[in-house]
Amino acid sequence: MKKYWWKILCIFILFYVIIVGFMGPVPHQPILNESIRNTYFHVALWMSMTIMLFTSMVFSFKYLRSGLLDHDDKASEFAKGGLFFGILGCLTGSVWANYTWGDPWPNDPKLNGAAVGMLMYLAYMLLRSSFEDEQRKARISSVYNILAFAVFIPLIYILPRLTDSLHPGNGGNPAFSSYDMNNEMRKVFYPAIIGWTLMGVWLIELRVRVKRINRFLRERVANADTAAKVHQ
């Protein structure tokens, strides 16, 4: 039971976020109106995505220092989890943008940066699939992963602040202020980040386990083949 406390916590938090997120009080701002509830999903998913991509980068560093394939497995799965949450964030953001700005994908610096960022991590997945040797794949993709995150953060969080953007917190607009969030919303928003992150970690843990099992089975088959050749 002690091993699963965080999974139980994840379920309770997400139930709380979904129920209170749809039924709790929110500030009625011009244009946003009830669509501001998407903050608990679109924005929180992107925050969780950033946490997962950062964790992926950390495990890439760990692999380069240790050479353990288990670290590379975690780096790749956290990157996949971050990409999945990023796609969900783009979809929820497109719905929100369509209702508030009249266009599912307006010409906005942050949206364009997000598209470039997603493409970078898709390229990371393609890079990994182009190598058969696991150690070589792990080394090259780890270096790419570290560089990709170093480029991703400026694209999403720094460059949009240097120009006009429709998103709050960019181009001089306030973010997480009384304009777009109050204390009642913060009681849901911050747990939402925790809940979605825990859900992502849960899914990633399962995928890492599958990778370990597959590697064990491949090694067992290879050892059996080697032993058979020796006996022949």
Confidence of residue 168 (pLDDT cuts 50, 70, 90): low
* Strand, coil or helix: 67: coil
CA distances to 68, 120, 153 from 110, rounded to whole Å, are 36, 15, 11
**What are the residue ranges spanned by the domains of the chain?**
32-218
pLDDT above 90 coverage of the chain, percent = 56
pTM for the whole structure: 0.89
Q: Do residues 75 and 59 make contact, with C-beta atoms less than 8 angstroms apart? A: yes
Residue 70, token pair as written in the block: 């288990």
Q: Write down the pLDDT at residue 229.
A: 65
CA distances to 50, 104, 125, 178, 186 from 58, rounded to whole Å, are 12, 34, 17, 35, 29
